Amino acid sequence: MTLLPFDITRFKFPLIQETGNLGQVDREAVDFSKAKLQETIAQSEAELQICAREFFATVHKVSKYNEFISSKTAVMKKSHSTFTGY
């Protein structure tokens, strides 16, 4: 079976149209991916802020505890030296 030029043209135009449709699908996929990426970045930044606040709160508590222990140690040393005379 031999295809005549008008038969080839009949197949060619639907293929060109489908190719254009695929380009649109690609653009929509890229737009969706960009939107999803922006959403993921925003969520990550929010989670990072929460973790940073928790981290600095913990560092602050450890620092306060360290001051408390240092103060108690100094009081105990002073009390010990007063009691023993050293």
- Could you identify the residue written with the tokens 């105990």? 76
- Could you identify the residue written with the tokens 């293929």? 15
Q: 27-75, pLDDT tens digit by residue?
A: 888 889 999 999 999 999 999 999 999 999 999 999 999 999 999 999 9
The radius of gyration of the chain's CA atoms, rounded to the nearest angstrom, is 37
Q: Evaluate if residue 6 carries a pLDDT over 60.
A: no
77 token code pair: 């040393």
Q: Is 3 left (phi over 0), alpha (psi -120 to 50) or beta?
A: beta
- pTM reported for the whole predicted model: 0.54
